[in-house]
Amino acid sequence: MQFLNLLAPLSLLSMASALPSYKREGDCIPYDTAVKLVDAFVSTLTAFDADVATNLLAPGFTDTSDSINFLAGIPVGSVTFPSPAAYIAGQGSQPPIGVDILNIDAVTSEGVIVFRWVATVGLDVDTVKGISVLYAVKSGPDPDTVGPSGYQLETLYSEFNSAAWLLDIGGTAAPPAAPGRLFKA
């Protein structure tokens, strides 16, 4: 019986060691740096400053969000902002919104930061909740050169309740006529 209790963890360990490693080069991202990165990113939504955004975004930065794509009329599945300049031009022209961080749920050694948030948008008709996944990279040896502690954002994925956002900016949205159709057995 003890042999079986030992066998399962060992077999899982051997499978995990056979998987390819996706670890990026460099130091592990400290949690306090992850918090600073999230705060800096959120500031680009709440009080946009082009200098903060320029310092925060890595040269190869991309942002993908089907929620934004739907609202902006961009084909779903497309990269929303393919560069720092596109993000700065797009976000810099938007009115500020309120954002409260609900929780930072994960910070990995590869620089992945996952956080959940709630936003106050326009008319504030409905609650807009979302989740964002940030990929941070160490961009410079000098922590004062770029981003918080030398880290910048390389990739961003965000999704949120785009129907609530649409209502909050004065649009209309109606639920499907037959709510049960989504839950067929």
What is the domain partition of the chain in residue ranges? 24-171
27 close to 143: Cβ distance less than 8 angstroms: no
The per-residue pLDDT of the chain, averaged, comes to: 85
CA separation (Å) from 27 to 33, 54, 98, 127, 150? 12, 23, 33, 38, 11
Determine the pLDDT at residue 140. 73
Determine the pLDDT at residue 37. 96
Determine the pLDDT at residue 146. 79
Q: How confident is the model at residue 23 (pLDDT cuts 50, 70, 90)?
A: very low
75-130 pLDDT, tens digit each: 999 999 999 999 999 999 999 999 999 999 999 989 999 999 999 999 999 999 99
Average pLDDT over residues 152-161: 97
Determine the pLDDT at residue 181. 60
DSSP string for 159-182? EE-HHHHHHHTT------S-GGGG
- What class, spelled out in words, does domain 24-171 have in CATH? alpha beta
